[in-house]
């Protein structure tokens, strides 16, 4: 699937009780009556071993298919940051939500990294795009991984419903919004914390996109949420919730949240933007409002 393809219907999910050999359980911890687990698998899309984390609420043990919320993390994070810092398991346990937390980039021997080990390019900074430029294009295909390969693995491994929601923070907020806007029929709702909404026109996005996608900025538009909303806003719409801290050091210079709000208002898009005095870019902010986001998704998953 290319980054520009719009899904015309819900992707079929064939839940199976059998455990595929491609996914190996690395750890399991009892948590709010359910299980916080971590898995490894060999990714054919990313050409390396990947890890992902899953929270299974107590309802998963009853055998009924459950809805899924995908969480995409931000720069420098792995699949474990949200697991240990957000405090989401308590609410997911109550609401019967499966949480899936992938890593933020390919990793391992042979996976290229920024020459200067910069935090905003290379390892930990996949930006959820399909890279087209060497040396990145051999491994950095995070769009296909999040949209196709990982959901297929989740569908095989767990008893899940044909409904899913997606959320994320910062670079992961960009990923959640961009992927949802590119695959509207796949998701019941989308939310984000402090999202990079216009990566084609902010320092973080310009640096990453020029390396991963080349200098032709027309190729960047398929991964830019502002452009995607402009193209589709009147036709296919998703419930959207975005929280932004006003004490966020990156709010102004990375153009977080606000440019997309302006377009949403023009398009009469069903998006709620909330701005919070005193809150910054950290997990203190995320942990404060994650319950709102999970309840938001649970409501729309139930209606989908």
Options 139, 169, 174, 281, the catalytic residue: 281
Q: Is the pLDDT of residue 235 over 80?
A: no
CA separation for the pair 11, 103 (Å, rounded): 22
Decide if 281 is catalytic: yes
Give strand pairing partners of 29: 36
Residues contacting residue 156 through CB under 8 Å, at least 6 positions apart: 14, 15, 16, 18, 20, 23
Greatest extent of the chain over all pairs of C-alpha atoms, in Å: 52
Tell me what pLDDT residue 21 has: 43
The backbone region for 32, taken as left when phi is positive above 0, alpha when psi lies in -120 to 50, beta otherwise, is: left
1 pLDDT higher than 60: no
Start-end of H helices in 71-170: 80-85, 89-95, 142-144, 150-157
Of residues 80, 140, 131, 73, the one with CA closest to residue 108: 140
Query: Which residue bears the tokens 């649970």?
Result: 298
Confidence of residue 105 (pLDDT cuts 50, 70, 90): very high
Burial annotation 91-112 (CB, 10 A radius, 16+ → b, else e): bbbbbbbbbbbbbbbbbeeebb
Quick one: average pLDDT of 260-289? 97
Task: Write out the two tokens for 13.
Answer: 């999910």
Per-residue confidence (pLDDT) for residue 2, from 0 to 100: 36
HSE on the CB side for 293, CA within 13 Å?
31
* pLDDT higher than 80, residue 15: no
Average pLDDT over the chain reads 92
End-to-end CA distance of the chain: 24
Is residue 159 annotated as part of the catalytic site, yes or no?
A: no
Cβ neighbours of residue 21 under 8 Å, at least 6 residues apart? none
Which one is catalytic: 73, 77, 167, 170?
170
Q: What confidence tier does 240 reach under pLDDT thresholds 50, 70, 90?
A: very high
**Is residue 248 annotated as a catalytic residue, yes or no?**
yes
Q: Please say if the pLDDT value at position 12 is more than 90.
A: no
Q: Is 214 helix (H, G, I), strand (E, B) or coil?
A: coil
Backbone angles phi, psi at 120, to 5 degrees: -105, 20
What is the rounded CA–CA span in Å between residue 79 and residue 59? 23
């Amino acid at each position: 699937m290319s980054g520009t393809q719009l899904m015309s219907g819900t992707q079929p999910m064939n839940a199976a009780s059998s455990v595929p050999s491609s996914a190996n359980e690395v750890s399991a911890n009892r948590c709010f009556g359910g299980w916080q687990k971590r898995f490894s698998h060999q990714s054919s899309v990313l050409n390396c071993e990947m890890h992902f984390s899953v929270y299974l609420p107590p309802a998963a043990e009853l055998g009924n298919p459950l809805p899924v919320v995908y969480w995409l993390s931000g720069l420098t994070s792995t699949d474990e940051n949200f697991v240990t810092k957000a405090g989401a398991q308590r609410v997911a346990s109550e609401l019967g939500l499966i949480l899936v937390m992938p890593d933020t980039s390919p990793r391992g021997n042979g996976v290229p990294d920024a020459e200067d080990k910069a935090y905003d390019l290379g390892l930990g900074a996949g930006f959820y795009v399909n890279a087209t430029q060497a040396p990145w294009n051999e491994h950095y295909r995070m769009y296909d991984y999040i949209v196709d390969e990982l959901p297929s693995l989740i569908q095989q491994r767990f008893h899940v419903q044909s409904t899913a929601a997606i959320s994320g923070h910062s670079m992961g907020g960009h990923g959640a919004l961009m992927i949802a806007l590119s695959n509207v029929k796949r998701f019941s709702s989308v939310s984000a914390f402090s999202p990079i909404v216009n990566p084609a026109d902010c320092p973080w996005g310009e640096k990453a996109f020029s390396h991963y996608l080349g200098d032709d900025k027309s190729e960047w538009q398929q991964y830019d949420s502002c452009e995607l909303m402009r193209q589709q806003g009147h036709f296919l719409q998703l419930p959207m919730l975005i929280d932004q801290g006003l004490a966020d050091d990156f709010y102004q210079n990375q153009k977080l949240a606000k440019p997309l709000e302006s377009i949403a208002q023009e398009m009469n898009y069903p998006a709620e933007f909330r701005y919070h005095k005193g809150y910054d870019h950290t997990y203190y902010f995320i942990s404060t409002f994650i319950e709102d986001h999970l309840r938001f998704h649970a409501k729309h998953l139930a209606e989908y």
